[in-house]
């Protein structure tokens, strides 16, 4: 279950690094790259990285949108050389 910050910290749902790896289904080193590149924001609470669930959701939406765009681009390229029937 996601940890809940105290009300003084904004009461946002957050997860640990390990939980985020599991939620996204990516290797830890890849999540580290995403955090370093600030593709996903995180907070330090008591010296531990806490990743807001909303950040993970936003990343998944961006990733699925990009994958859909790539699929559509591939469909357009394949159909470009074919005459309409």
DSSP class of residue 9 equals G
C-alpha 42/C-alpha 12 separation (Å) is 12
pLDDT score of 7:
36
> Hey, what CATH class is 3-77 in?
mainly alpha
pLDDT score of 11:
37
Strand partners, 30: none
Nearest to 17 by CA among 6, 2, 37, 38: 2
pLDDT score of 14:
95
Q: What digits encode the pLDDT tens for the residues 6-65?
A: 333 433 699 999 999 999 999 999 999 999 999 999 999 999 999 999 999 999 999 888
């Amino acid at each position: 279950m996601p940890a809940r910050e105290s009300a003084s910290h904004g009461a946002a749902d957050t997860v640990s690094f390990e939980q985020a790896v599991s939620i996204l289904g990516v290797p830890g080193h890849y999540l580290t790259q995403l955090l370093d590149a600030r593709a996903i924001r995180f907070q330090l609470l008591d010296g531990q990285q806490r990743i807001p669930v909303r950040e993970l959701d936003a990343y998944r939406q961006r990733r699925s949108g990009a994958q859909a765009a790539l699929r559509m681009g591939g469909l357009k390229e394949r159909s470009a050389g074919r005459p309409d029937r």
